[in-house]
A = this chain, B = another copy of it.
Amino acid sequence: MQSEGNKYISGTLIAQELGLEPIQVRKDLAITGIIGKPKKGYPVTTLIDAIERFLGWNSVQDVVLVGAGNLGSALMGHREFRLHGLHIVAAFDKNPEKAGTTIHGVKVLPMDTIEAEIRTLGVQAAILTIHSDDAQAAADILVKAGILGIWNFTAVKLRVPETVAVQTEDLSSGYAMLCVTMQSYRDGDDGTAP
C-alpha cells in the first residue's frame, strides 16, 4: 500500500488480504497502540511504524549464526533481514577450514570459541543452521552462554529452559504441507479425513 502511494488502509482490506476476520485484525493491531480513523482506516506509514516498533524492528538486534553451511551462508546473504534490524555479527562452524573465512561480510569463527564470543559480543539471539545431529548440543552451549532466543532451522525439537524463546522453521513440514495440498487438489477434496 505504501509503495502504491495509498495513505490509508482499512482493517477490512487487511483481513481480506490475509484471510482473517476483520475483528481479529483490529484486535491484533490495537496491541501495537495504533488507532484507526472511522471510514478511512489506518494511516499506512504510522501503521508500519507501529508494527515495527512492536516487533522491535526499529532498533538493531545483533545475532550470531551457528553452522556456516549452505543454509547458514544463504541467511548471511539475505538482504531482507536488514530491513527488520536483524544483524548477524558473527558465525561459528566446527569445520576448521571455514573458521577465519568471511561469508557475505560475516566472519566465521571456530565453534569452540562460541561461548566466550557470545558473552563478549553481548548478543541475546542466535540462528541455528547446524546439522540436526549437532543441534541439541549447540543449543545447550547457546543457553549456557546466555542466549535468550534461538531461530531454529534444524529438524530437531530443541529442549531449552522456559525462559528461552525458540522459533522453529521446519522446511520438511512446509514441504509436507505442499505435498498434501497438491494431493488433495488432485483428488478433488479438501485434504481432510471424512
Task: Please list the residues of chain A having a beta carbon within 8 angstroms of any beta carbon in chain B.
Answer: 17-18, 27, 30-31, 54-57, 61, 69-71, 73-78, 80-81, 84, 86, 104, 124-125, 132, 148-151, 155, 157, 163-165, 167, 169, 171-172, 174-183, 185-186, 192-193
- For the complex formed, measure the closest distance between the CB of A80 and the CB atoms of chain B, giving whole angstroms: 7
- For the complex formed, measure the closest distance between the CB of A81 and the CB atoms of chain B, giving whole angstroms: 7
**Known pairs A55-B176, A70-B73, A84-B175; A182 contacts B169 (CB<8 A):** no
The reply to whether B178 and A163 form a contact with Cβ atoms under 8 Å apart is no
Tell me how many chains of this kind the complex includes. 2
**Known pairs A149-B178, A163-B185, A185-B165; A74 contacts B70 (CB<8 A):** yes
The reply to whether A80 and B174 form a contact with Cβ atoms under 8 Å apart is no
Please measure, in the bound complex, the distance between the C-alpha atom of A35 and the C-alpha atom of B148, giving whole angstroms. 41
Please measure, in the bound complex, the distance between the C-alpha atom of A54 and the C-alpha atom of B181, giving whole angstroms. 12
Q: Could you write out 12 A-B pairs with CB less than 8 Å apart?
A: A55-B180, A57-B179, A70-B73, A70-B74, A80-B172, A81-B175, A84-B175, A124-B182, A149-B179, A151-B178, A165-B178, A169-B174
The reply to whether B30 and A193 form a contact with Cβ atoms under 8 Å apart is yes
- For the complex formed, measure the closest distance between the CB of A83 and the CB atoms of chain B, giving whole angstroms: 8
Residues of B within 8 A of A125 (CB): 178, 182
**Known pairs A78-B70, A148-B182; A86 contacts B165 (CB<8 A):** no
